[in-house]
Chains A and B, each alone.
Chain A
Amino acid sequence: MNAAPVPHEIHAQLSGVTRTYPTVPGAGAKMPVHALGPIDLDLLRGEFFAVVGPSGCGKSTFLEVLAGLQQPTAGAVTFEGKPVGGQVPEGIGVVFQEDASFPWLTVWDNVAFGLRRSGVAAPELRRRVEDAIAFVGLKDFARAYPSQLSGGMRQRVCIARTLVLQPRLILLDEPFGALDAQTRLLMGDEVLRLWRRTGATVLLITHALDEAAMLADRVGAMSARPGRFIEIIATGWPRGRDSTIVGEAAFGEITGRLWERLRGESLKALGHAAVPAMAAE
């Protein structure tokens, strides 16, 4: 069902991964907080995988463990066959939910930032930076500072800064969470373009069911904390898709199915007991 160029080649793998936070002093809780897992997941090379789940379910923890920003409490993470842990491996790029563009650098210098430290020759560096800036549509703003840009444009700066390093696995942590719905649809198209052009494996964390249903080859629905995958749905979209698929019947079906799975989990996250849909009143 998935549209990976080389089907079933495992690109990144999580097996038996859990993450537990020790008790925070003064927070009142006596037990350590079990935030995530156990999670077993194979990410296939070149696929677009989305993770949806209620707020606080451990989605971001999941991404940080996969990226090597956090150590799993138990279990193992591998990327391209090598164990991940302690540091972010070369080849993984991350775009965060918060604006991580550096305000003291121009758009150009922001995008060139990571590349400058990797010892790439000057002409090659210039070509790649200009290419990345053009790709995210900020050619006319290369000399601008992030403070002169909108939130969506700043997030594109961060995408370009990641893209320029030519990552093979791109992790997106709710990158459009702070944007309005229309801008999010358009940014979704840009992410699809990014995915097609780089040929990278993309993992998108989101709380928006429609965003996940529209963008991904496979959508993993995550339970309330501790986050586990309760279902993984293959969408069957063609590789050349864009945001116009929100008008298709299959889109409604997938979104509906996701909500069916996640409704109880979202109520749990709100502190309610899981109740059948019709008996909610």
Chain B
Amino acid sequence: MTATRRTADTLFILFGLVVLWEILHRIAGETAMPAPLPTFAYLLHNLTTPRFIANLTTTGLELGYALLLAYGIGLAIGVWMGAHRLSGAVGEPILVSLYSLPKITLYPVVLLIFGLGISGKVAFGALHGVLPVALLTMGAIRAIPPVYLRAARTLQLSPWQTIATVLLPAALPEVFTGLRIGFTVTLLGVLLGEMFASKEGLGAMIMNALQLVQGEEMMTVAIVLFAFAALANGFLLFIEHRLHRRV
């Protein structure tokens, strides 16, 4: 598929979504679902207000810290469990069951430990992201064909050269898939954290607008988040496909 064709497809989907939105607006009424056009007008007016920018910055900061933690801890756990057979055998079922657990049930615990400030939301976001990053990294390392290691030895590589020039590139595409999924769920965790027990951030803005019945503000925040998540995911997918194409 050519680039123009893909752009046309994307625009077509976006147009379809706006039409769907308009239809929902006609069914649900003004309070529940404001019309697209007034919402876009509201968005343009409010996007640059200090209030909006402050909330956006808070969410961005929380997401950044949470990703840093999720990636750092997730990669460390994943490499360790992938390389050490016993740790992997013990750790994998634990991680898998934690992954399937609805983590929102643990949010009160996180709040009790980290408090109501930014650290609670960062911790909750990281809690979401760590698991897929660790699991996929572990899988990536286990999936490296053993013959690569033997080949590295016959090519006279030192252990460090083997890690840097064979193991790392061999595992990278799969690890990157973990980072992309980790990004999506970390964002989810941060926003969930903001929606409950928080006064700052985009998640808190949505809940605030809900209480004040400000449909346009609710939809504005939703559109911003939608656009950000879609763009970031598209970018990560683009890199991921490039990495996978060679394998």
Residues of chain A at the chain B interface (Cβ within 8 Å): 64, 67, 69, 87-88, 90, 92-94, 96, 98-100, 102-105, 113-114, 117-118, 145, 147, 158, 161-162, 165
Contact with A along B233-247 (1 / 0, CB 8 A): 000000000010111
Q: Which residues of B contact A161 (CB under 8 A)?
A: 155
Q: Is B46 an interface residue (CB 8 A)?
A: no
Q: List 10 A-B contacts (CB under 8 A).
A: A64-B150, A69-B154, A88-B153, A88-B156, A104-B170, A105-B169, A114-B155, A114-B156, A117-B161, A165-B155
| CB <8 Å contact, B247 and A98 | no
CA distance A117 to B153 in the complex (A): 12
Near A by CB (< 8 A), chain B positions 132-164 give: 145, 147-148, 150-151, 153-157, 161
CA distance A114 to B151 in the complex (A): 10
Most B-side CB within 10 Å, residue of A99, A117, A161: A117
Residue of A nearest to B153 (CB): A88
- A156 CB → nearest B CB, Å: 15
Near A by CB (< 8 A), chain B positions 192-247 give: 243, 245-247
Q: Which residues of A contact B245 (CB under 8 A)?
A: 147
CA distance A67 to B133 in the complex (A): 38
| CB <8 Å contact, A104 and B148 | no
Q: Which residues of B contact A88 (CB under 8 A)?
A: 153-154, 156
Contact of B169 among A64, A102, A145 (CB under 8 A): A102
Q: Which residues of A contact B169 (CB under 8 A)?
A: 102, 104-105
Q: Is the interface of A mostly helix, strand, loop or mixed?
A: loop
Q: Which residues of B contact A64 (CB under 8 A)?
A: 150
Q: Which residues of B contact A162 (CB under 8 A)?
A: 154
| CB <8 Å contact, A102 and B154 | no
CA distance A100 to B147 in the complex (A): 6
Most B-side CB within 10 Å, residue of A92, A93, A104, A145: A104
Contacts A93-B154, A102-B169, A103-B247 known; 19 new A-B pairs at CB < 8 A: A69-B153, A88-B153, A88-B154, A92-B154, A94-B151, A94-B154, A96-B150, A100-B150, A104-B172, A104-B243, A104-B247, A113-B155, A113-B165, A114-B156, A117-B155, A117-B157, A117-B165, A147-B245, A147-B246
Residue of A nearest to B246 (CB): A145
Q: Which residues of A contact B154 (CB under 8 A)?
A: 67, 69, 88, 92-94, 162
List of 6 A-B pairs having minimum Cβ-Cβ separation, nearest first: A114-B155, A98-B147, A100-B151, A94-B154, A104-B169, A103-B247
Q: Is B43 an interface residue (CB 8 A)?
A: no
Q: Which residues of A contact B172 (CB under 8 A)?
A: 104
CA distance A147 to B246 in the complex (A): 6
CA distance A159 to B165 in the complex (A): 20
Q: Is B116 an interface residue (CB 8 A)?
A: no
CA distance A105 to B153 in the complex (A): 18
Q: Is B24 an interface residue (CB 8 A)?
A: no
| CB <8 Å contact, A117 and B151 | no
| CB <8 Å contact, A90 and B156 | yes
Residue of A nearest to B158 (CB): A117
Q: Which residues of B contact A118 (CB under 8 A)?
A: 156
Residue of B nearest to A113 (CB): B155
Q: Is B166 an interface residue (CB 8 A)?
A: yes
CA distance A88 to B161 in the complex (A): 15
Most B-side CB within 10 Å, residue of A103, A145, A162: A103
| CB <8 Å contact, A94 and B246 | no
Near A by CB (< 8 A), chain B positions 4-27 give: none
CA distance A87 to B157 in the complex (A): 10
CA distance A87 to B158 in the complex (A): 10
Q: Which residues of B contact A158 (CB under 8 A)?
A: 151
Contact of B145 among A90, A98, A105 (CB under 8 A): A98
Residue of A nearest to B172 (CB): A104
Q: Which residues of B contact A145 (CB under 8 A)?
A: 246
